[in-house]
Amino acid sequence: MSANPEQPDDQVTITIDGAEYQASKGATIIEVADANGVDIPRFCYHPKLTAPANCRMCLVDIEMNGKAAPKPMPACITAIGDGMVVRTESERAVSAQRNVMEFLLINHPLDCPICDQGGECELQDLALGYGRGISRFTERKRVVDDEDLGPLVETEMTRCIHCTRCVRFLDEIAGTSELGALHRGEHTEIGTFVGRGIHSELSGNVIDLCPVGALTNKPYRYTARAWEMLSHPTVGPHDAIGSNISLHQVRGTVKRVVPRNNEAVNETWIADRDRYSYQGIYAEDRLQEPIARDGDKWQAMDWQEALESVAGRLKEVAAQDPSQIAAWVSPSATLEEQYLLNRLMRGLGSDNVDVRLRQADTRDGDSPSPGLGMPIAATEDVDAALLVGSHTRHDQPLLNHRLRKAGLNGAHIMALDTRRHDWNYELSEELVAHPDQLARELALIAAAMAAYVGRGVVEGLHAYTGGAEPGDNHKRVAQRLVDAGSALVMSGDAVELHQGGADLRALTALIAELAGAHHGQLGTGANAFGGWIAGAVPYRGADGSPARGMSVAETIADPRRCYVVVNLEPEHDCFDGAAARRALEAAETVVVFSPYVTEAMREYADVILPIGAFGETAGTFVNAEGRWQTFAGVGRPIGEARPAWRVFRVLGNLLSLDRFEYNAPDEIHAELQGLWERQGNPSNGGWQGRPAEPWLGHGSLVRAGNTAIYGTDPLVRRGEALQRTPHAGAARPTLSPATAQQLGVNDGDWISLDQGGPSVRLQASVDDALADSTVWLPAGLEGTAGLGPVHGPINIQRT
């Protein structure tokens, strides 16, 4: 019975430290206290993890129905009751907390002066309030051997207080269960036991969770103190989630990256890619000043001279035939950069500007826009999802985290790709097919679905099914998607890279439509959706007007005389690195805007202009759900480098283009926002926009792949610590056992591979996760730069 007749049944009233609070039944004391700003000390409790109540720091005094509990109770697992009276500062509660603190400090070293956690340590903070001035402990403290957990997380396990937050994080959030609490009592140690290290793509979060200095940031170690750094809010530059992060800097140098809370986007987590890629800002190959080719030599020049020379070259080509100019721009460039580049190109008379570096097939040209088609936070509540060509765990780690939550709650998460992937939860169905057969598989799902919903025969589907009947697996996928209250059908990176990608996207759209599901299309890059909005696509201006330019794929197949390349390395970032490089090498004029200068660039470029890297420029990213997130620059760009928007603005002035008088990125932002708000919601492609003829397939041994998690863009490829994880390093071409046997290849053999150009020598893997006649070989890894299309025919020879 409720004490208060006005109170809803699911609400109770409790008193904490004399003040009354209303809260939902089933809440714990610590949740109510946190929600109302009452401070209860804690170590093991974390709102995103289960509560084991093992640190005992949150002991509070409780009284129920006028009767005091016989001893203090842990606030983190004690559920509230109506009329409960909680005292967090009673003599008994505080004495219990002080006693717990004394025990915690018994074995904790007094090495705060050399501990990275010093100054931001939960133990240090609480010791100030609850610790004794002088220790009564005169015995020896225990010492724990450190384990090497890999290049990202540093250990100093003697400092560990066994709160087990890291263990629970890897269990419950990362899903990898790599750490455990080993041994017992005083001998308890947190570790892997076998020295395997931790490899989760979210592993860095254990650093933030660790309340002491046991787990700290390895690359950041000893480089700064918490109190001397300034924190700048910004946005993760690698995936379509747009995780909210803070850069911590000292005198303009970024020292580390930490997450910012945003429940709608990244909750309180970030992927390791967003945490450690900042090291790329300080890579050795940063370009310090503009340089131009002078015969066989490279000449440094000042900005004025360099920009005038670029403007002159562009004008010259434009005067003859503007369609001979093509611009390739990174999908992780800011909205403002993409928009100004679009305006520059269109001002010159060319519509050939594109951010879709990895899209091999643009036959569906003007129909699809990238995006998730639903709010990111809502994906954790779907009842079913079909992920086509998406290893979401690596492509969009925090989207995978949401889908994993849905999956663990009973949703049917299903996938179709050319291989099974290493998921961190169990999928309901994982279909594997040869790249040539992916369209057929989707068509069979669509056919099963049409039958299930009573739609009869879908026009055009027969061309893909070839008259085959759906199997039980197709029917299961179809029925689960239709029966779901909320469902997501999404295509990923491998679909972008697929040479029949337009068919796959149309079929994915058809399945979403038949199922009444949300439809998503996510490639790589932090701002692919932004590129679309900014009009940095060849078939669409920023105001939504249609255009008829050439895509990246088309300007590779039909090379132009002049290229403008913005913040990318074609050999890694284009769907066909070899062909992209050939096109650049054959061009008369190549202007590169890049924070870095590589040997390859010196071979194909004529002028290379240094632009600000991530963190050195202000701008906006639009994430997968269409959220515009604006951030400021943190430090000055290195050397003479300048933010790209500023360079484009000056170039616009030199080319005498109209309306290029921007003083700050927010003016560009506001102008574009105005254009965007006048347009309706983008269509996300559809079955009607399918290609006239299905793509026929290669019918041979085919390379398939996606973009490696730490190979997505120039910045992360220079993240030195990330590159030392097992997710990076030399590529391992992977074959199915049957295909390997056919080719006489064994696991671990060195093989030479070529796609019509120069061959590379790599060590093969054999894995039954793969479809037959397929070589899995992702882009963005060491050894893949000289190869041809990520999806395309490949030759293998044993060496």
Q: Is residue 729 close enough to count as binding another protein by CB under 8 A?
A: no
Pattern 561-590, another protein, x by CB under 8 A: ------------------------------
Residue 701: CB partners within 8 Å, gap ≥ 6? 739, 743, 773, 774, 775, 793, 794, 795, 796
Return the residue matching tokens 């202007």: 591
Cα separation, 458 vs 440, whole angstroms: 14
CB of 215 to another protein, least distance (A): 16
Q: Note whether 751 and 536 are within 8 A (CB).
A: no
CB of 734 to another protein, least distance (A): 10
Q: Is residue 745 close enough to count as binding another protein by CB under 8 A?
A: no
Query: Furthest-apart CA pair in the chain: how many Å?
Result: 92
Which of residues 172, 767, 772, 782 is near another protein by CB under 8 A? 767
Q: Is residue 737 close enough to count as binding another protein by CB under 8 A?
A: yes
CB of 187 to another protein, least distance (A): 9
Q: Which is nearer to another protein, 192 or 486 (CB)?
A: 192
Task: State phi, psi for 332 to the nearest 5 degrees.
Answer: -105, 5
Pattern 688-727, another protein, x by CB under 8 A: ----------------------------------------
Q: Which is nearer to another protein, 684 or 774 (CB)?
A: 774
Return the residue matching tokens 């996606």: 706
Q: What radius of gyration do the chain's Cα atoms show? A: 29
Which of residues 768, 797, 798, 799 is near another protein by CB under 8 A? 768
Cα separation, 590 vs 163, whole angstroms: 56
Nearest to 462 by CA among 444, 482, 481, 476: 444
CB of 189 to another protein, least distance (A): 9
Nearest to 413 by CA among 477, 471, 473: 477
CB of 451 to another protein, least distance (A): 34
Region binding another protein by CB under 8 A among candidate stretches 154-162, 391-399, 621-629, 765-773:
765-773
Q: Which is nearer to another protein, 749 or 767 (CB)?
A: 767
CB of 413 to another protein, least distance (A): 18
Nearest to 165 by CA among 120, 125, 129, 212: 212
Return the residue matching tokens 């020379």: 309
Which of residues 50, 763, 765, 795 is near another protein by CB under 8 A? 765
| One-letter identity of residue 385 | A
CB of 650 to another protein, least distance (A): 54
DSSP state of 280: G
Q: Which is nearer to another protein, 174 or 716 (CB)?
A: 174
CB of 149 to another protein, least distance (A): 13
Region binding another protein by CB under 8 A among candidate stretches 218-226, 278-286, 629-637, 759-767:
759-767
Cα separation, 767 vs 704, whole angstroms: 14
Q: Which is nearer to another protein, 196 or 761 (CB)?
A: 196
CB of 195 to another protein, least distance (A): 11
Q: Is residue 766 close enough to count as binding another protein by CB under 8 A?
A: yes
Q: Which is nearer to another protein, 136 or 187 (CB)?
A: 187
Q: Which is nearer to another protein, 35 or 182 (CB)?
A: 182
Q: Note whether 67 and 177 are within 8 A (CB).
A: no
Residue 64: CB partners within 8 Å, gap ≥ 6? 81, 83, 84, 85
CB of 776 to another protein, least distance (A): 13
First to last CA, the chain: 80
What DSSP element (H or E) covers 314? helix 303-320
Q: Which is nearer to another protein, 2 or 763 (CB)?
A: 763
Residues 191-230 that bind another protein (CB under 8 A): 192-194
Q: Note whether 473 and 539 are within 8 A (CB).
A: no
Q: Which is nearer to another protein, 362 or 424 (CB)?
A: 424
In angstroms, the Cα distances linking 54 to 101, 173, 355, 538, 628 are: 13, 19, 51, 59, 42
H-assigned helices in 321-459: 335-348, 392-395, 397-408, 438-453
Region binding another protein by CB under 8 A among candidate stretches 38-46, 80-88, 542-550, 764-772:
764-772
CB of 747 to another protein, least distance (A): 7
Q: Is residue 274 close enough to count as binding another protein by CB under 8 A?
A: no
Please count the residues of this chain forming the interface with another protein, following the rule CB under 8 A. Answer: 18
Q: Which is nearer to another protein, 175 or 523 (CB)?
A: 175
CB of 441 to another protein, least distance (A): 23
CB of 314 to another protein, least distance (A): 52
Cα separation, 190 vs 149, whole angstroms: 11
Residue 476: CB partners within 8 Å, gap ≥ 6? 428, 429
Token readout for 773 is 């006649």
The residues pairing with 13 across neighbouring beta strands, listed in sequence order, are: 22
In angstroms, the Cα distances linking 750 to 703, 732, 762 are: 17, 10, 5
Q: Which is nearer to another protein, 322 or 733 (CB)?
A: 733
Q: At what angle do helices 501-515 and 472-483 cross, to 10 degrees?
A: 50
In angstroms, the Cα distances linking 332 to 311, 336, 550 are: 25, 11, 20
Region binding another protein by CB under 8 A among candidate stretches 63-71, 119-127, 534-542, 762-770:
762-770
Which of residues 120, 308, 747, 782 is near another protein by CB under 8 A? 747
Q: Which is nearer to another protein, 624 or 766 (CB)?
A: 766
CB of 48 to another protein, least distance (A): 19
Token readout for 613 is 């890297």
CB of 50 to another protein, least distance (A): 12
Counts of helices then strands in the chain (DSSP H, E): 25, 35
Residues 158-197 that bind another protein (CB under 8 A): 176-184, 192-194
The residues pairing with 490 across neighbouring beta strands, listed in sequence order, are: 387, 520
Interface contacts to another protein, rule CB under 8 A: 176-184, 192-194, 737, 747, 765-768
